[in-house]
Amino acid sequence: MSQYDDTNAANQQWQLVAVDGVGATYPQPGTVTGDTFAHDPEVLKKPDGEYLLAFTANGVGLKTSGDRTRWTDVGSAFPGGTPWADEYTGGDRNLWAPELRYANGQYYLWYSASSFGSNTSAIFLATSPTGASGTWTNQGVVIESGAGDDFNAIDPAVTEDRSGNWWMSFGSFWSGVKLIRLDPSTGMRSGSAFHGIASRGGGAIEAPTIHYRDGYYYLFVSFDLCCRGADSTYRVMVGRSTSITGPYVDRAGTSMMDGGGTEILASHGSVHGPGHQTVLPDSDALFYHYYRDDGVAQLGINLLTYDGGWPTVY
What are the mean pLDDT values of the chain's consecutive 10-residue runs (314 residues total)? 28 34 77 98 97 98 97 98 95 94 98 93 98 98 96 97 97 96 98 97 96 97 97 98 98 98 98 97 93 98 96 96
Verify whether residue 50 is a known catalytic residue: no
Verify whether residue 144 is a known catalytic residue: no
Q: CA of 261: how far to CAs of 36, 40, 245, 265, in Å?
A: 29, 20, 16, 12
d(CA 61, CA 59): 6
pTM (predicted TM-score)? 0.92
Provide the sign of the torsion angle of the four alpha carbons 151, 152, 157, 163, taken in this order.
positive
pLDDT at 5: 28
pLDDT at 281: 85
pLDDT at 177: 98
pLDDT at 224: 98
Considering the candidates 35, 40, 99, 155, report the single residue annotated as catalytic.
40
Please, what are the domains in the chain? Answer: 35-264 (2.115.10.20)
Residues in contact with 6: Cβ distance below 8 Å, sequence separation at least 6, in sequence order: 28, 31
pLDDT at 15: 33
How buried is residue 1: exposed, middle or buried, by Cβ count under 10 Å (0-12/13-18/19+)? exposed
d(CA 217, CA 212): 4
Considering the candidates 35, 206, 250, 263, report the single residue annotated as catalytic.
206
pLDDT at 283: 85
pLDDT at 1: 27
Provide the sign of the torsion angle of the four alpha carbons 257, 156, 186, 162, taken in this order.
negative
d(CA 274, CA 8): 19
Q: What angle do CA 276, 251, 158 make, to 5 degrees?
A: 35
* HEC readout, 70-83: EEEEEEECCCCCCH
How buried is residue 188: exposed, middle or buried, by Cβ count under 10 Å (0-12/13-18/19+)? middle
By the 8 A CB rule, do 37 and 57 touch? no
pLDDT at 197: 98
pLDDT at 92: 87
* 288 beta partners: 300
pLDDT at 201: 93
d(CA 227, CA 181): 29
